[in-house]
A = this chain, B = another copy of it.
């Protein structure tokens, strides 16, 4: 009996964990981040509040796990495509402009999709005023795609397409910063046309030649 207890308990734990993460994402869509609470997540998941606090320190920590976990499941794949797909390299057809437009258009679609927008926006907001959570979010969610962009630009530099004196990291932020700015601050519509314009302007520069 004792031999069987451990696997059963671990299966139960995994079932509770999954229910908690699913409840967090569902309730985020229903209540919005400011009104999301650990109590509500516990009630929806059918667990006690203390079960959540045993594993996570805050609603933001639950949400970060729910968000990063989902990218690994088939149903979450769509929300994690494009620039944010960790691990995969960016396309390299030899045409830097076309490759960047393809990836940034996918990033625009992702930022406009509630399944990505809601948790990523909530975690960004929390991270702005909660440096510890913010550091985890940046390291786990933002830095991996930024590194892929930098690698693609370094390859273009090696191929003689990007100027020698360009810092790839600065170039990455020149391309990704404006999209993030519009996405987060909702200053103007975030469209494929905007993504294209950012790529064209960043590649050729603002100055009259």
The interface size of chain A toward B, counting residues with CB under 8 Å, comes to: 57
Name, among A142, A203, A204, the residue most crowded by chain B CB atoms within 10 Å (CB to CB). A204
Is A198's CB within 8 Å of the partner chain B? yes
| Chain B residues, Cβ within 8 Å of A113 | none
| Chain B residues, Cβ within 8 Å of A6 | none
Q: Chain A interface mostly helix, strand, loop or mixed?
A: helix
Q: A125-B129, A163-B208 known; A202 and B174 CB under 8 Å?
A: yes
Task: Produce 1/0 per residue, A185-209, CB < 8 A to B.
Answer: 1111000001001100111111111
> Distance in Å from the Cβ of A76 to the closest Cβ of chain B?
21
A201 touches B166 (CB 8 A): yes
Residue of B nearest to A153 (CB): B206
Q: Which of A39-47, A101-109, A131-139 has 4 or more CB atoms under 8 Å from chain B? A: A131-139
B129, B173, B186, B198: the one contacting A181 at CB < 8 Å is B173
A135 touches B186 (CB 8 A): yes
Is A164's CB within 8 Å of the partner chain B? yes
* Docked complex Cα distance between A161 and B206 (Å): 9
